[in-house]
């Protein structure tokens, strides 16, 4: 027996030990997914084990959400994550008073001057913005690169992605049977009778993880928030779709569903592609993405992911783009990254501002500008959301208004949908929908996907 066979090998991330290097490798692969800021080892023997030890402290910065939502969160982002969980539990009493603890406001940079002075289409309006088309290139946010880079449509140069990009189940062949059953069953549907404004009885159907008519409520909340100087909102024909309990990291699919809800409810081109009373399920969306790859749309995605059908692998902007283009629904994707003269979040905010400004007239003097624009698919490292608006505060700072599939619609907002009463503190109700500069500047790269009107 060799000396190496007597050697006790230790896991670089926990107290687990074993003589068998192959078994230890399996332990690391299954129990310790790659940290977003480092590459976890494929082999934990010899020099590879020493390299893994260097990354151990970085991995321990990731923790499971103590709220129980199932998300893995970096320690530096945990307080914001838990703050949003508080926001999703916000409720109102009969007088519109909020019943959760108050939150300290974040300090933000000034955006107002740039928003007013930079005209759409000017050289400075896009900074480091890159636009890519679905039939020629694809991109994917990867923190190991200096910003998103385009890849050729052919398979040349495509590489298999790991846990940094695809999540902890990057090498999964099939999701657990209990989860497949949960996704097949879908959200609970409730049917009830409702008396309309004309006095007639009408049937209404609600779905457990969907909320409609939220945007008109947000519009009124922005109107009543004295700290808002101006706000822009997309079409009200967008539902907030959020994850089911225990489903895990399917945010990309939930954002695709939100864009589809707009296409269907606003009767936009392509709405006939989504018949029936329900939005396509996550499993159905996986089939549609795989079929888009088969037809040549961002087909390197299959090589990069190893296939997504029946798995929990994360998806991103390239998959959303491939799906819509394969159905004949025109869209445009953009990538934003840092350069020496501008930060990525500045370029992103300017581009989103220009987008909403294109859908309305700024000469009305109105505080709230409601447009009929589609929402925007929005991606940063590890998470995606749907942008449904943009606002500027009286101090000149900017916020994105988003539907985040990680957090459910709060009881307060659901109540205001049915009967709007001015809350005592509109800003607290809006907390769950705002993503400002303190949040955005944590990330170096962003991607967006916009549907053509």
Q: Quick one: three-class SS letters along the chain?
A: CCHHHHCCEECCCCCCEECCHHHHHHHHHHHCCCCCCCCCCCCCCHHHHHHHHHHHHHHCCEEECCCCCCCEEEHHHHHHHHHHHHHHCCCECCCCCECCCCCCCCCCCCCHHHHHHCCCCCHHHCCCEEEECCCCEECCCCCCCCCCCCEECCCCCCCCCCHHHHCCCCCCCCCCHHHHHHHHHCCCEEEEEEECCCCCEEEEEEECCEECCHHHHHHHHHHHCCCEEEEEECCCCCCEECCCCCCCCCHHHHHHHHHHHHHHHCCCCCHHHCCCCCCCCHHHHHHHHHHHHHCCCCCHHHHHHCCCCCCCCCCCHHHHHHHHHHCCCCEEEEEEECECCECHHHHHHHHHHHHHHCCCCHHHCCCEEECCCCCEEEEECCEEEEEEEEEEECCCCEEEEEECCCCCCCHHHHHHHHCCCCCCCHHHHHHHHEEEHHHHCCCCEEEEEEECC
Mean pLDDT over each residue of the chain, to the nearest integer: 78
| Contacts of residue 368, Cβ cutoff 8 Å, sequence gap at least 6 | 219, 222, 223, 230, 231, 233
Summarize the confidence of residues 1-25 as an average pLDDT.
61
More confident: 245 or 292? 292
What is the percent of the chain with per-residue pLDDT over 90, rounded to a whole number? 50
Q: How far apart are CA 334 and CA 377, in angstroms?
A: 10
Tell me, what's the pLDDT at 96?
66
Tell me, what's the pLDDT at 146?
29
Q: Estimate to the nearest angstrom the gap between the alpha carbon of 146 and the chain centroid.
A: 21
**Which residue is listed with tokens 């949908």?**
417
pTM: 0.76
Q: Is the pLDDT of residue 53 over 70?
A: no
Tell me, what's the pLDDT at 179?
94
Q: Is the pLDDT of residue 47 over 70?
A: no
Q: 295 and 228 in contact (C-beta within 8 Å)?
A: no
**Which residue is listed with tokens 């004309």?**
198
**Which residue is listed with tokens 């003097």?**
365
User: CATH 3.90.70.130 region(s) of the chain?
Assistant: 112-451
Give the best-scoring range by mean pLDDT among 119-128, 129-138, 210-219: 210-219
Q: How many CB atoms lie within 10 A of CB 53?
A: 15
Tell me, what's the pLDDT at 152?
35
**Which residue is listed with tokens 């170096």?**
444
Instruction: State the pLDDT confidence band at 277, using cuts at 50, 70 and 90.
Output: confident
Tell me, what's the pLDDT at 83?
74
Q: Which fold has domain 112-451?
A: Cathepsin B; Chain A (3.90.70)
Q: Which residues partner with 228 through β-bridges?
A: 393
Tell me, what's the pLDDT at 25?
64
Tell me, what's the pLDDT at 188?
87
First to last CA, the chain: 71
Tell me, what's the pLDDT at 102?
41
Give the best-scoring range by mean pLDDT among 80-94, 178-192, 227-241: 227-241
Q: How far apart are CA 336 and CA 437, in angstroms?
A: 15
Tokens coding 443: 């990330």
Q: How far apart are CA 286 and CA 301, in angstroms?
A: 12
């Amino acid at each position: 027996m060799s000396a190496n066979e007597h050697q006790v090998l230790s896991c670089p991330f926990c107290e687990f030990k074993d003589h068998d290097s192959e078994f230890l490798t399996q332990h690391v692969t299954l129990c310790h997914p790659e940290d977003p800021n480092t590459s976890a080892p494929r082999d934990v023997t010899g020099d590879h084990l020493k390299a893994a030890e260097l990354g151990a402290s970085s991995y321990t910065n990731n923790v499971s959400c103590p709220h129980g939502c199932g998300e893995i969160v970096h320690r530096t982002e945990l307080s914001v994550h838990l703050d949003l969980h508080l926001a999703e539990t916000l409720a109102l009493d009969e007088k519109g008073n909020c019943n959760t603890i108050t939150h300290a406001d974040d300090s933000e940079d000034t955006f107002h001057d740039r928003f007013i002075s930079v005209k759409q289409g000017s050289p400075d309006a896009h900074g480091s913005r890159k636009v890519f088309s679905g039939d020629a290139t694809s991109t994917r946010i990867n923190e190991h690169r200096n910003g998103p880079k385009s890849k050729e449509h052919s398979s040349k140069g495509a590489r298999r992605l790991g846990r940094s990009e695809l999540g902890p189940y990057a090498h999964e062949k099939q999701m657990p049977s209990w989860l497949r059953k949960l996704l097949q069953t879908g959200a609970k549907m409730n049917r009830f009778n409702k008396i309309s404004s004309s006095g007639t009885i009408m049937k209404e159907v609600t779905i457990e993880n969907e909320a409609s008519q939220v945007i008109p409520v947000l519009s009124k909340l922005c109107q009543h928030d004295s700290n808002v100087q101006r706000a822009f909102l997309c079409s009200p024909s967008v539902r907030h779709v959020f994850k089911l309990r225990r489903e895990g990291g399917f945010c990309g699919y939930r954002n695709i569903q939100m864009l589809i809800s707009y296409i269907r409810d606003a009767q936009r081109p392509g709405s006939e592609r989504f018949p029936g009373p329900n939005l396509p399920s996550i499993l159905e969306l996986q089939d549609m993405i795989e079929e888009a790859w088969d037809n040549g749309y961002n087909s390197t995605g299959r090589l990069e992911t190893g296939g997504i059908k029946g798995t929990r692998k994360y998806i991103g902007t390239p998959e959303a783009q491939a799906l819509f283009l394969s159905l004949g629904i025109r869209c445009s994707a953009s990538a934003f990254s840092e350069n020496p003269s501008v930060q990525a979040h500045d370029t992103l905010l300017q581009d989103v501002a220009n987008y909403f400004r294109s859908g309305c007239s700024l000469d009305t003097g109105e505080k709230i500008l409601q447009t009929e624009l589609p929402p925007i698919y929005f991606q940063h490292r590890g998470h995606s959301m749907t942008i449904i608006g943009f606002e500027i505060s009286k101090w000149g700072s900017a916020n994105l208004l988003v539907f985040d599939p990680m957090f459910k619609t709060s009881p307060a907002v659901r109540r205001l949908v049915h009967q709007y009463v001015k809350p005592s503190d509109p800003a607290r109700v809006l907390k769950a929908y705002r993503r400002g500069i303190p949040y955005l500047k944590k990330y170096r790269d962003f991607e967006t996907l916009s549907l053509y009107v």
